[in-house]
Structure 1
């Protein structure tokens, strides 16, 4: 249970699911994301294909990570990927780094950058990192 009991997530193996998180090749990710008008090919990024039931996680990023997180934080990067794309499914838009040295908002495009208008944030995987 999360967000003070307002949201719950449950893995289901059959029956109805509100959305499906899918780990897929860059080509499959691009095809599903294109159904929602999104182009993931330039940076091999993931997406919430909002016009479908799929939240697409690009297997290239899952395996390679991103320079912004570095090689030693692959687990944290993968957590951020899931949290960021599911955040879109829940209706959240991209955010920016608003204070030098702060933790990046999970909705910041951390795969691409950690800086906005001269302020550089620290990589962060969680929407509520302090609890």
Structure 2
């Protein structure tokens, strides 16, 4: 006959199974959503400014702006290079990055609010977790 100690020793020699938990996401904190969307917007703003700078450098190095100047001077007395310089391009990139920052932050807050309202109808999102 087996004793209790034998049963416990047999149980401890088995490989422990991973525990699975199924949880339902029923609420997204409004301020957490704003902070996360603001952080994502900052990343997108930095990428926007750097990409505008690099694209301008490539276009300027290839001489496309100078060729465009020569082409347009044939039609009118307007020089594109006076409108499309590095300061103007970076100012436009900065304005675009700030607008994008505002829009993405507000969009994150709106989506969190919409999700919180939709949870009342649908019951939430079922999420599964496991421990290794």
TM-score interval for Structure 1 and Structure 2 normalised by the shorter chain: under 0.3
RCO higher in structure (CA 8 A, sep ≥6): 2
TM-score, length-scaled by structure 1: 0.25
Greater CA radius of gyration, 1 or 2? 2
Between structures 1 and 2, the one with greater helix share: 2
TM-score, length-scaled by structure 2: 0.25
